[in-house]
A and B are shown apart, each in its own frame.
Chain A
Amino acid sequence: DTGVSQDPRHKITKRGQNVTFRCDPISEHNRLYWYRQTLGQGPEFLTYFQNEAQLEKSRLLSDRFSAERPKGSFSTLEIQRTEQGDSAMYLCASSPTPAQGQETQYFGPGTRLLVL
């Protein structure tokens, strides 16, 4: 297992187009998280899944954003009608179900989105 993987690594799109990103977590990790990171800022939480259930969504996640984890394995994050403000690095992380000493989240390399 090489860790969390994300695809694509880079995406350039025109404003108004839809984009979809994929995240493959570490196998046997029940939790999967999406974060967004803009230049000069730390990662900001977007949403997370426990298996296939989406348990929390940030207010940052507008109606144009949707995330799925249909079989409790990989996840997709779709942005509809992209705006220039969506340009950011989108990070995925996974972890075992949190218990004492198991909250460590393992991050993927990220997908860098540029909306022109």
Chain B
Amino acid sequence: AQRVTQPEKLLSVFKGAPVELKCNYSYSGSPELFWYVQYSRQRLQLLLRHISRESIKGFTADLNKGETSFHLKKPFAQEEDSAMYYCACYNQGGKLIFGQGTELSVKP
């Protein structure tokens, strides 16, 4: 069955430190992977998707099919990055399969 795993419920770092939020997936076909972010009191919004190969707010994520991973990285965390981050895999049937989420806390 399709599954997305985010092993860390909480990740706490200091401002300026590198950040890596882990995401592993299981999917039999060609995966379409996304990172969604939810800032405090805001709605869930797209951060980035692997097919775009872009950097958003300094975040990047590379799809590693060998390790079935799609980790989210940022070299220097900022306090405004504090939020809930969800990794998601798009099912060709039309739905998103989400991980449990990782709360990122960036301390001053």
Contact = CB atoms under 8 A, between A and B. Distances in A.
Contacts of B34: 104
B9 A40 contact: yes
Nearest to A101: B51
Interface in B85-107: 86, 88, 90, 93-101
Contacts of B36: 107
Interface residues of B, number: 25
B94 A108 contact: no
B26 interface: no
A33 interface: yes
Given A40-B9, A43-B86, A48 B94 contact: yes
Interface of B: 4, 6, 9, 32, 34, 36, 43-46, 49, 51-52, 86, 88, 90, 93-101
Interface of A: 3, 31, 33, 35, 40-45, 48, 50, 55-56, 58, 91, 93, 98, 100-101, 103-110
